[in-house]
Amino acid sequence: MSSKGMVRAIFLVVFAVWLMIWVMLPTKLYKNTWTPNLETTLNSTYFSGQGTNLLLFSFPLMFIAAFGCAYLHFQNKSTDSSNHSKRLGLDSVTALLKRPVVVMAPLGIVSALELTFASMFVALLIWSLANYLHVSFGNLHMHKEGEKIWEAKLRSVSLRLGYIGNICWAFLFFPITRGSSVLPLIGLTSESSIKYHIWLGHLSNILFAAHTIGFIIYWAITNQMAEMVEWSKTWVSNVAGVIAIVIAMPMWVTSLPQFRRMKFELFFYTHHLYFPYIFFYVLHVGDAYFCMILPGIFLFLIDRYLRFLQSRQRTALLSARLLPCGLLELNFSKTPGLYYNPTSILFVNVPRISKLQWHPFTVSSNCNMETDELSVVIKCQGSWSHKLYKELGSSLDRLQVSTEGPYGPNTSHFLRHECLVLVSGGSGITPFISIIREIIFQIQKPNFKVPRVIMICAFKNSADLAMLDLLLPISGTPQISQIQLQIEAYITREEEQPMAEAHKPLQTIWFKPSPLDSPISATLGPNNWLWLGAIISSSFLMFLLLLGIVTRYYIYPIDHNTEQIYHFSYRALWDMFLVCVCIFIVSSVVFLWYKKQNAREGNRIPNREIATPVTSPGVSPWFSGAELESLPHQSLVQATNVHFGSRPDFKKTLLDLKESDVGVLACGPRKMRHDVAKICASGLAQNLHFESISFTL
């Protein structure tokens, strides 16, 4: 076994042990035998009752997260991108597991592997609830004189539903940690795994709602409604739990698909209530249960704070391209050392439009071809993007912009296939722009096997054909004729090709630089795994050190040398405070040091002076009467077949492919992606490997 295989095996064993502890947690064996022995061994004067949970539930995942950064760093160093087929080849079992098996709303497209893990997770929840109730009913406690057995059981069931919700919280924050080292270890990105966060969020809210309603009913029938607003000094705070569920309800309601699509901004702002939600939730469950879910929250807070630090910088916007179809491309300056893979996304903030709103957009550039520029594509669909389009169309000499990212996959895994079918609807073509540019770059390397590329695009109007112009970067001379590219473009709402005069010309606008602007630089994460690992390990060790000092020299003397009992909620407050302080100190020091290193290396853009912004018009080559001014445009038009008044026949196209390994990537409207996924899942062609691409505009 290679060294990489051994490291992955260690991670797998640690994770398996962590899962086994969750499996054993609700059992009578754990409660009656393991717990007394563990508390005797692990609960010291330095960590009190948290020692057991810190070791069993927090340490394993923090170990994987910290050392996973080192593993990813050395993996990237040894990566030979010219040998994708050998390095990333999938065996038949893995390909079968990644094949879609469920294609339906509201679950979306679910592979066999995802369905297997989801079933295992549901089995864990059912197992835990059944064992909790079995142990509880076998030793039922009466909490009030004259309480009936069914009332005591109602209370027990309600309490255990809260325990099950806490299991969901142990996994809830990993999918939304954009710079996570845990997700890349299992081949995931935050963008592709956001649906797991949605599933866990809905499930946890259902469980917590049932937990709350059950206790309200219990208190009502036993005449204990005053318990609802009790803030106990020795046990959990009920009023903190009530406040937490009150905060959770609007977050949950606005996250429902129907509401989120109609009122996205309301969903966006409401979801920022997560901080008070976490705060009151931890006050409610206490420090011991907080340690059980600590890794996900700890890593999320590190990631969120680092993203906050990066977003405070102003980014140099070099130019913008305005397409006649209401699409625009922003071109930013970036440092040559910033590396990202195709289909990545970048978050953009324009204070002139809104100081609070951050919008994710698909990166269309390629970091190998455009070493000092990064481009994103934006479709004018909402009020924010329309305002931006209008601002760019006015006489601006510069525009203040801040960015965060980019974030994306850890590898260019799509290059492993013999044939690549890119299916897009409308602006869903944007993630494929970076893929085409990556292939153009890779063909310059010796011994690179170029996959045949078939791009199937569906547009409503002929003006949308201008999106294909983005396949060619704003600068340079890409050799697009050297790749086996076939583009089938379908115009669904027009019957014939219009004249060029009927469409607005493409515009390229150049902006003056500002000395306050900086190029987009590598974040402390995918481009700097070792530094991220140092932040994770150092901040966690600092947290353990400070927690041990506070517990031993402040809390312990109060509990044991006085007649007082230290407040139950104050322990949780100390935990949250120390977590935030350690993350703030370590992350700030590393970020500022790294920023200073960038400045020393001359990463700030030069102060160039341009008298006025320059606008360069051009006619898109897709309309009758337009002149083809460059060889790349000629090659692009020659590779494209435009079909007016028709729709693509996905089934015929996919089933007619003869290659043994065909990668099918779909991006666009949900119905289109589902139709393509169903064809790949039907089993009619075993050579099709489907992947749904996330994109944002």
Distance between CA atoms of residues 506 and 167, nearest Å: 53
SS3 of 297-334: HHHHHHHHHHHHHHHCCEECEEEEEECCCCEEEEEEEE
pLDDT tens digits for range 237-256: 999 999 999 999 999 999 99
pLDDT tens digits for range 588-606: 998 888 777 766 654 444 4
pLDDT tens digits for range 9-28: 999 999 999 999 999 999 99
Phi, psi of 238 (to 5 degrees): -70, -40
Residue 435: closest CA among 412, 416, 465, 466: 412
At residue 464, does pLDDT exceed 70? Answer: yes
What is the dihedral angle through the alpha carbons of 149, 155, 161, 163, rounded to the nearest 10 degrees? -110
Task: Give 93's pLDDT tier (boundaries 50, 70, 90).
Answer: low
Structure tokens at 136: 């509880």
Computed over every residue of the chain, the mean pLDDT equals 82
Read off the amino acid at residue 634: Q
Burial of 601 (0-12, 13-18, 19+ CB in 10 A): exposed
Distance between CA atoms of residues 466 and 525, nearest Å: 35
In this structure, the strands spanning 108-111 and 327-333 are: unpaired
pLDDT tens digits for range 599-628: 665 444 444 444 444 444 444 555 544 455
- pLDDT recorded at residue 83: 46
* 282 contacts 245 by C-beta, under 8 angstroms: no
At residue 427, does pLDDT exceed 60? Answer: yes
pLDDT tens digits for range 156-183: 999 999 999 999 999 999 999 988 889 8
- pLDDT recorded at residue 600: 61
Cβ neighbors of 595 (< 8 A, separation 6 or more) are: none
Beta bridge partners of 425: 458
Give the chain's largest Cα–Cα span.
92
Handedness of CA 485, 491, 492, 497 (dihedral sign): negative
* 196 contacts 118 by C-beta, under 8 angstroms: no
Run of H or E including 102: strand 100-104
Q: What is the CB-side half-sphere exposure of residue 400 using CA atoms within 13 A?
A: 11
pLDDT tens digits for range 663-690: 888 888 888 888 888 888 877 777 777 7
Percent of the chain topping pLDDT 70: 87
Cis ω for the linkage preceding 184 (within 30 of 0): no
Residue 665: closest CA among 476, 425, 410: 425
- pLDDT recorded at residue 85: 42
Give me the CATH code for the 314-498+505-517+649-693 domain, please. 3.40.50.80
- pLDDT recorded at residue 605: 46
- The residue behind tokens 């690549």 is 420
- pLDDT recorded at residue 525: 65
Run of H or E including 100: strand 100-104
- The residue behind tokens 């790349």 is 632
Q: What is the mean pLDDT of residues 565-577?
A: 91
Domain boundaries, the chain: 314-498+505-517+649-693
- pLDDT recorded at residue 215: 94
Cβ neighbors of 107 (< 8 A, separation 6 or more) are: none
Distance between CA atoms of residues 235 and 46, nearest Å: 21
Cα-to-chain-centroid distance, residue 422:
22
- Among 50-59, 263-272, 338-347, 407-416, the range with the most confident prediction by mean pLDDT is 50-59
Distance between CA atoms of residues 317 and 320, nearest Å: 8
pLDDT tens digits for range 502-546: 556 677 888 887 888 888 887 666 678 888 999 999 999 999 999
Q: Is 343 helix (H, G, I), strand (E, B) or coil?
A: coil
Q: What is the CB-side half-sphere exposure of residue 564 using CA atoms within 13 A?
A: 9
Task: Give 580's pLDDT tier (boundaries 50, 70, 90).
Answer: very high
* 128 contacts 163 by C-beta, under 8 angstroms: yes
At residue 491, does pLDDT exceed 60? Answer: yes
Cis ω for the linkage preceding 406 (within 30 of 0): yes
